[in-house]
Chains A and B, each alone.
Chain A
C-alpha cells in the first residue's frame, strides 16, 4: 500500500507533441492518498485509461514523475511497482483451472505453496466461485471470467495499489452490484489504495471515497460525491454527474442578481463584475415549475420515472430539465420556472466562480 504522487505528469501518444491538443493527458499534479478508494470518471477518450496505464507502468509518460511513497518509479517496470490491475475485458489463462489462474500471480512471485492454497481458497470464496475452482477457465461465461480477473487482481495482499479499468462492463447488472459491494468491503477490510476507472457515474459514486472527474485530458474536479453534486467545479462535472445533468444557462451576472434574457434571477451570493462567457448552472432538482412569475418556459414532455417526474422544457431556445416530485401535479398553466437561489452556481468560461455571501 502506498501513497501515489503524480508530479507534473503529462502524456502524448505522438513522439513530438507540439500543442496542448496533442496531449492525451494534460499536465497534472495530484496525490492519491494511501488507502483511499478513487474513481476516475469521464467519458470515452478523456484520458482516464491513459492515466491508469501510466500509474501501472504499462505506459511511460512523456513528461513528469510518478512517486510511490516518495520513491520515483517513473521508469520502473510494472512488476517492480507491485500493483494489480483488472482490465475491461476478462483476461484469463484459458488452459488453466480457475484455481491455477488465481494462484498464478502468487506462484510467479515465489510465494509459499501452503499460503497460496489458503489464499486462493479465500479469494475463491470472495468472488463466489469456490465450486468452480477446479474447472478449466476456458468454458466459463464472460462474467465468471471477469470474476477470475478480479480475483487475480486481489489475490496479492501486499500490492501498492489496485487498479480497475472499467472492470464491470461485461458483467450482468445484478452481479455488478454485488461485485462492487464486494470490492468496497474488500477496500474497508484491507485498505488498499484503489483506483477505479469508469464512465458510469453510479458506479463511481457508489464505489469511491473520492471521485476524480476527467474531461478532455484534464482532471476537472476531485471530490466526494456530495461535493460533485453540490458544487461542480466545471460545467462538464455538472452536466456529467446527475441524471439528468445540471442545466447551464447563459446569463449576465451583476452583484447578487443574474439576468437571463431580461428576466431577473436571484443568486444566493454576490459576485464582482465578471468577464468572459458567463453562465449559471442549476441542477434539475432545484428548479421548480410554477404558474407564478419566473422564467418563461415551454414544456415539451413529462417523463414519469416512478419516484419523480422529469420535465423536459425549453427556455429561450435552450433545453432545460426540471425534476418534479411524483405528487406534483403538472398543469398546462405552469409556464414558468424558479430556481432555489442557494443552489445556483455561476460559471465563467466553464469554471465555477465563488461569490461572497450576500
Chain B
C-alpha cells in the first residue's frame, strides 16, 4: 500500500517543542553554559572546560553537604512513611469525621514553605516560642541556633509536621480502594490484625506508597526554604543541605561556574537516585507478585 508522505505534520509538534525549549531546555542550557566558563564580571567569559566539575568533585564542602542531605532524606523517610501509614490506618473510613480528618490532614500541605519555616522558627525560639520556651522551662537544653542536635531535630520535626500528611493521604487513598469483601474474608479466615495489615492492606497500598516514597525523597532532597528560614544552614554548616549550599555559592559568593557545575551534578544525582529507587521498588513489587 502506498503511504501518503506529508512532512508538514512536523509543524504540529512545534508548539510543544517551543514550550519545552523555553520551560526546560533553554534554562538548563544556560546553566550548562555557565558551568564550562569562568567570569570576572562585566559579562566577560572565559572557556574553562570541565575544570569546575573536577574542582567540585574534589571539594569536601560538596561531599559534606551531600552527606548531610542524604542523612536528612533518610531520616525523614524512615519517620514519615511508617507514621503516614499508621495515621491512615487509624483515620475513620467514612462519614463526617473522615472528611474532617482529610481536611485537617491537608492543612499543612497548603501552607507555603516560607510560612512553615517562619512558624517553626518562631515556635522553637527560647525567648518567645512556645516550644522553645516550654522545653527550656522543663530544663531541657534546647537552642537550635547553637546546638547541632537541636537544629537537626527542629528541621526534621518540621518536615515531618509538614509532609507526613502527604504520605497519610496517599496511603488512605490506597486503603479506601480495598473492597469490603477482603476484610470480611479475613474475618472469616480468622486473620489477626497484623495479618490483615501484612497480607491485605500493605500489598494494596504498595503502589501508592511507592509514589509517596519517591515524591518524599525527591522533595526532601531538594529542600531549601524551610531549613533556610529556620537555621540558615547553621549552626556553622550543620544544617547546610545541598540546595542551601548551592544558593550560598551562586548568589552569596557569586561563583557562577562552580555553582553551575554543582547544580548539574545535583540534578544528575537526584535523577540517578530516583531511578535507582524506582527500579528497586518495581523489582520488589514484581518479586512479590
Contact = CB atoms under 8 A, between A and B. Distances in A.
Interface stretch (B17-25, B97-105, B181-189, B219-227): B181-189
A93 B185 CA distance: 10
A242 to B, nearest CB: 32
Interface in B194-241: 195, 199-200, 203-204
Interface in A28-58: 53, 56, 58
A105 B185 CA distance: 10
Contact of B192 (A85, A87, A108): A108
A58 B187 contact: yes
A94 B288 CA distance: 8
A218 interface: no
B289 to A, nearest CB: 4
A88 interface: yes
B179 interface: yes
B184 A85 contact: yes
Nearest to B196: A93
Interface in A151-165: 152
A239 interface: no
A94 B185 contact: no
B188 A78 contact: yes
Interface residues of B, number: 18
Nearest to A155: B189
Interface string A84-116: 110111010111100000001100110000000
Contact of A152 (B181, B189, B192, B199): B189
A89 B289 contact: no
B188 A108 contact: no
A139 interface: yes
Contact of A108 (B182, B189, B203): B189
Interface residues of A, number: 26
A94 B289 contact: yes
A91 B187 contact: no
A94 B203 contact: yes
Contacts of B188: 56, 78-79, 83-85, 105
Nearest to A136: B289
B191 interface: yes
Contacts of B182: 91
Contact of A139 (B192, B203, B204, B289): B289
Contact of B187 (A78, A104, A138): A78
Contacts of A109: 190
Interface string B151-193: 0000000000000000000000000000101101101111110
Contact of A77 (B187, B199, B200): B187
Contacts of A58: 184, 187
Contact of A96 (B179, B184, B185, B199): B199
Contacts of B199: 93-96, 104
By CB atoms of chain A within 10 A, which of B182, B188, B203 has the most? B188
Contacts of B192: 108
A56 B181 CA distance: 13
Interface in A137-152: 138-139, 149, 152
A21 B199 CA distance: 40
A138 B289 contact: yes
By CB atoms of chain A within 10 A, which of B184, B195, B204 has the most? B184
A104 B184 contact: no
Contacts of B204: 94
B187 A108 contact: no
Nearest to B204: A94
A152 B184 CA distance: 13
Contacts of B200: 93
B190 A87 contact: no
Contact of A87 (B185, B191, B195, B203): B185
Contacts of A139: 289
A239 to B, nearest CB: 31
A149 B199 CA distance: 15
By CB atoms of chain A within 10 A, which of B187, B190, B288 has the most? B190
B288 A136 contact: yes
Contact of B181 (A79, A83, A87, A104): A87
Given A58-B184, A91-B184, A91-B185, 15 more contacts: A53-B184, A56-B184, A78-B184, A79-B188, A85-B185, A88-B181, A93-B200, A94-B289, A95-B288, A95-B289, A104-B191, A105-B188, A108-B195, A109-B190, A149-B185
Interface of B: 179, 181-182, 184-185, 187-192, 195, 199-200, 203-204, 288-289
27 contacts: A53-B184, A56-B188, A58-B187, A79-B187, A79-B188, A84-B188, A85-B184, A85-B188, A87-B184, A88-B181, A91-B181, A91-B185, A93-B203, A94-B199, A94-B204, A95-B199, A95-B203, A95-B288, A96-B199, A104-B191, A105-B188, A108-B190, A108-B191, A108-B195, A109-B190, A138-B288, A138-B289
Interface of A: 53, 56, 58, 77-79, 83-85, 87-89, 91, 93-96, 104-105, 108-109, 136, 138-139, 149, 152
Q: Which 5 A-B pairs have the closest CB atoms?
A: A91-B185, A138-B289, A105-B189, A108-B190, A93-B199
